[in-house]
Amino acid sequence: MSESLLDLDLDRAEPVLLRYAGAGPRYTSYPTAPVWSEHYGPEQLREDLGRLGPRDPLSLYVHVPFCKSLCHFCACNRVITRDAALPARFLDDVEREIAAARAALPEPGPVIQHHWGGGTPTHLSPLAVRRLFGAVCEGFPLAKGAEVSIEVDPRVTTPEHVEALRECGFERISLGVQDFDPRVQAAIHRVQSVEETADLVARARDAGFASVSFDLIYGLPFQTLESMARTLDSVLAIGPDRIALYAYAHVTWVAKQQRGFERHDLPEPKLRLRLQLEAFRRILRSGYVHVGMDHFARPEDELARALRDRTLRRNFMGYTTHAGLDLLGFGPSAISELTGAYAQSVREPDAWGEAVRERGLATLRGHRLSRDDQERRFAIGEIMCHGELRAADWKARFASDFATRFAAELRALDALERDGLVSVAADGSVRVSTLGRLVVRNVAMVFDAYLEGQQAAPKPLFSQTV
Ligand code: SF4
């Protein structure tokens, strides 16, 4: 993939890719969240937790929703506050939620992945970080060698935070960067210098963090090819182990403050695509591997290894290692992904806290997967993670003929094959091309049974695929 994307003729590729511009899911789950129902609540989650096996390894996610100021591009679930009382109450409530999940799952397996996201987890004081980590690990003990990771905002992360995080056992740190250009930073209301970012990386490496990753965004107001190249030069000079280069999602129905971006300040579709393609190539030329969609990693990084070993997995955290773990989410809006079911907690932090105090678990909605869902989830997962859906793998897993099962979908792939996005073998096996991996969501969309109804919905549900 890496070499061939570098060889791609961009002038020929762009018109093809632009034809696929449209709204589509990011497939961090299948079925996607709009399908989930409020008939699934705390009782259903308790039942599903009770069904997990005692030795099944677990992945944990903790959502810390607080931030000091609002970045205007942001569509995350967060609360802007400087009020110290809110985090204190949050800690009490998340401890209650952990206790409730623990009671539903009498013999939890070992935790081999433990991740905090937000919001800004380092909005919590170092003392609060220690308390929260202790509470989660008391309920769900870490396995030896577990992967422990956190997302941080360099603007609020102090040397004392770095010390507390390492003491707890965090070993992977992900920094929000987005863009270093001053004009872009002013427009998105997030001013963060190269120096403070590089300082935090140096401190983290000195403290023993094994892996550093950066989150960047293309498609922001005022970005140009030149400004993006300068940002990437600074990023590559610091040299994170992983880079996630996300597409800016203009989803004003979720993030109302994005309406403040004037339409003409945002790059038009052709420039937006060129920003992406040039940035991808710059990252690849620096020796990173394209893991999938928007993720890059150094060749020796576990994510790149997982890609090579076919153990790469996609969940709410994006691309991750360790396929097939049950994931338990804590905090407002957190998602749990269990064998055969998804559950999401109440989004709004006050309402989430009330629900936890009343019922222990704050489940707002969820979904139990039918056989059809499970088959399609497998197909979509193979395409999103491996760029390949092999008929033999299908047969081994579901004991049926792939080409017969998905005859209609394979016919729908004809048009994508003519455009050079996929190739389909005689037994129906699908391979996504280098060009196709740039619009891999569109390939996966062919296997989504719910999409037609969602696209006809009166309100938009998804961001743009290109
Ligand atoms: S981008 Fe991060 S720091 Fe900024 S508002 Fe969103 S969650 Fe908070």
From the CA of 178, give the closest atom in ligand 1: 1
Residue partners of 83: CB distance under 8 A and separation at least 6: none
The CA–CA distances, whole Å, from 70 to 103, 147, 150, 354 equal: 37, 30, 20, 25
Indicate if ligand 1 lies below 6 Å from the C-beta of 118: yes
Cα(64)–Cα(78) distance, integer angstroms: 8
Read off the tokens for 466.
């290109």
Cα(113)–Cα(346) distance, integer angstroms: 23
Inter-residue contact 151 to 118 (CB < 8 Å)? yes
pLDDT, residue 1, reads: 44
Pocket residue to mutate for ligand 1, from 64, 69, 73, 74, most atoms within 8 A of Cβ: 74
Indicate if ligand 1 lies below 6 Å from the C-beta of 132: no
Domains of the chain: 35-367 (3.80.30.20), 370-455 (1.10.10.920)
From the CA of 190, give the closest atom in ligand 1: 4
Q: What is the mean pLDDT of the chain?
A: 94
Cα(341)–Cα(367) distance, integer angstroms: 6
Check whether 2 has a pLDDT greater than 50.
no
- Residue 352's pLDDT band, with cuts at 50, 70 and 90, is very high
From the CA of 70, give the closest atom in ligand 1: 5
**What does the pLDDT look like over 401-449, one tens digit per residue?**
999 999 999 999 999 999 999 999 999 999 999 999 999 999 999 999 9
Minimum CA distance residue for ligand 1 atom 6: 74
pLDDT, residue 55, reads: 82
Distance 118 CA to ligand 1 centre (A): 8
Inter-residue contact 465 to 439 (CB < 8 Å)? yes
Residue 147's beta-bridge partner residues?
A: 113
pLDDT, residue 230, reads: 98
Inter-residue contact 61 to 329 (CB < 8 Å)? yes
Indicate if ligand 1 lies below 6 Å from the C-beta of 79: no
From the CA of 78, give the closest atom in ligand 1: 7
Q: In degrees rounded to 5, what are phi and psi of residue 100?
A: -65, -40
Indicate if ligand 1 lies below 6 Å from the C-beta of 176: yes
**What does the pLDDT look like over 232-265, one tens digit per residue?**
999 999 999 999 999 998 888 888 898 888 777 8
**What does the pLDDT look like over 24-61, one tens digit per residue?**
899 999 999 999 999 999 999 999 999 998 888 999 99
- Residue 3's pLDDT band, with cuts at 50, 70 and 90, is very low
Distance 396 CA to ligand 1 centre (A): 43
- Residue 459's pLDDT band, with cuts at 50, 70 and 90, is confident
Read off the tokens for 394.
């299908």
Distance 397 CA to ligand 1 centre (A): 40
Check whether 321 has a pLDDT greater than 90.
no
Share of the chain above pLDDT 90, in %: 82
Indicate if ligand 1 lies below 6 Å from the C-beta of 71: yes
Cα(46)–Cα(104) distance, integer angstroms: 5
The CA–CA distances, whole Å, from 366 to 48, 72, 379 equal: 11, 29, 21
Pocket residue to mutate for ligand 1, from 63, 66, 67, 220, most atoms within 8 A of Cβ: 67
pLDDT, residue 261, reads: 87
**What does the pLDDT look like over 211-230, one tens digit per residue?**
999 999 999 999 999 999 99
Indicate if ligand 1 lies below 6 Å from the C-beta of 120: yes
Check whether 179 has a pLDDT greater than 90.
yes
From the CA of 74, give the closest atom in ligand 1: 6
Sign of the four-CA dihedral 55, 59, 65, 68 = positive
Minimum CA distance residue for ligand 1 atom 7: 119
